[in-house]
Amino acid sequence: MDLSGNRFVIIGRAGMDFYPDPPGTRTEEADRFVACLGGSSANIAVAITRQGGSAALVTRVSDDAIGRFAIKELERYGIDHSHVAATGGEARTSLAVVETRIEDHQSVIYRNGAADFEMTREDVDAVDYTRYSALIATGTVLAAEPSRSAAFHAFDRARAAGLPLIFDIDYRPYSWPSAEVAADVYSRAGALCDVIIGNDVEFGFMAGEYDKGLEKARSLVARGAQIAVYKMGEKGAVTFTPTREIRTGIYPTKALKPTGAGDSFMGGFVAALAAGRDVEEAVLRGSASAAIVVARVGCAPAMPTTEELDAFLASHAGPNAA
């Protein structure tokens, strides 16, 4: 799998994150908030660009001030937003209110009538997939129509152009009509992709039982995927390839919040693969990227640069034993 062009097209959502300020403040006690770019796909795009790659986002935002905020932020981070369309009516850009605290952490997500679910086949048809090294999709893009059909159509278009498909499971129950529908759709998507990344709960969900999640990850590679990364939080990760099973630990850190780790992991992981590093090193760089982000305020603004990641790895103890 060659990602050396280091150019990624990402389908999924962009939104706005609100953080009660100063850090540690409970939402209901806050009298001021800091706003920044949010949404898993947008965060991954930022993570990739911060580590030397380029990223284009394909999604929809609301045709209002919040949608324009998201586009302005994408531009500020150097992300190609030429395939981010505004949609009118009652659709709204996602909003997340996220606390910078570990104890009794609260995240409140507003996704009623989410604009990103309005993405169409025409939106993904407008992309020249031959310009990119891989397509990245996050699982929330599959939770509703017409976005779900558009995403599967993008998979077909990218595959026809010879692109690897990289899938972040990113299961958010509140976006789905039922757990049964979600498990079926995720399994269909996972079977099409070359790289599948998720945590133990997400793989267990795909398998139908939590205890069968590890075997689900292993089976996806046995049936054709090139890499499956089964993340286990503080217990590290198990990564499957057609020839190896790799166990890795995490980099201990003083976390300020639990959010942003998965998006940062994805960015660090694919950036390392694009730089020609082997799979084990890529997983470790993704893990270190995650450790950096949870120790900083925000998600998109917390993503490390390549230089920051290298400095962290040079000075930080770890990884711990898997």
The H or E element that residue 246 is part of is: strand 245-248
304 within some domain: yes
pLDDT at res. 17: 98
Domains of the chain: total: 1
29 within some domain: no
Separation in Å, CA 80 to CA 12, 68, 184, 318: 14, 14, 32, 35
Q: What CATH number does the domain containing 211 carry?
A: 3.40.1190.20
DSSP codes joined into one string, 30-73 = -S-EEEEEE-HHHHHHHHHHHTT-EEEEEEEEESSHHHHHHHHH
* Alpha helix (H) residue ranges in the chain: 40-50, 65-76, 121-125, 147-160, 179-192, 200-207, 213-222, 261-274, 279-294, 306-315
20 within some domain: no
Domain span at residue 229 reads: 7-13+40-61+77-83+116-315
Half-sphere exposure at residue 84, Cβ-oriented, CA atoms within 13 angstroms: 27
Which one, of 229, 303, 304, lies nearest residue 42 by Cα? 303
User: For residue range 59-91, what is the model confidence (pLDDT) as tens digits?
Assistant: 999 999 999 999 999 999 999 999 999 999 999
99 within some domain: no
Residue reference for tokens 């998507």: 189
276 vs 322: which has the higher pLDDT: 276
322 within some domain: no
User: For residue range 133-171, what is the model confidence (pLDDT) as tens digits?
Assistant: 999 999 999 999 999 999 999 999 999 999 999 999 999
Separation in Å, CA 205 to CA 34, 39, 198, 248, 289: 34, 22, 10, 22, 26
Q: Name the average pLDDT for the chain.
A: 96
284 within some domain: yes
Confidence of residue 322 (pLDDT cuts 50, 70, 90): low
> How far is it, in rounded angstroms, from Cα 221 to Cα 218?
6
Which one, of 20, 12, 100, lies nearest residue 48 by Cα? 12
Separation in Å, CA 243 to CA 50, 203, 221: 31, 21, 10
Separation in Å, CA 12 to CA 9, 148, 154, 167, 300: 10, 10, 11, 11, 15
Residue reference for tokens 């929809």: 60
Q: Say how many C-beta atoms besides its own lie within 10 A of residue 109's C-beta.
A: 16
24 within some domain: no
Summarize the confidence of residues 280-304 as an average pLDDT: 97
pLDDT at res. 179: 87
> How far is it, in rounded angstroms, from Cα 213 to Cα 265?
19
pTM, whole model, 2 decimals?
0.97
Residues 6 or more apart in contact with residue 303 via CB below 8 angstroms: 43, 46, 47, 50, 263, 264, 267, 289, 293
101 within some domain: no
Q: What is the 3-state secondary structure (H, E, C) of 129-140?
A: HHHCCEEEEEHH
pLDDT at residue 261 is higher than 90:
yes
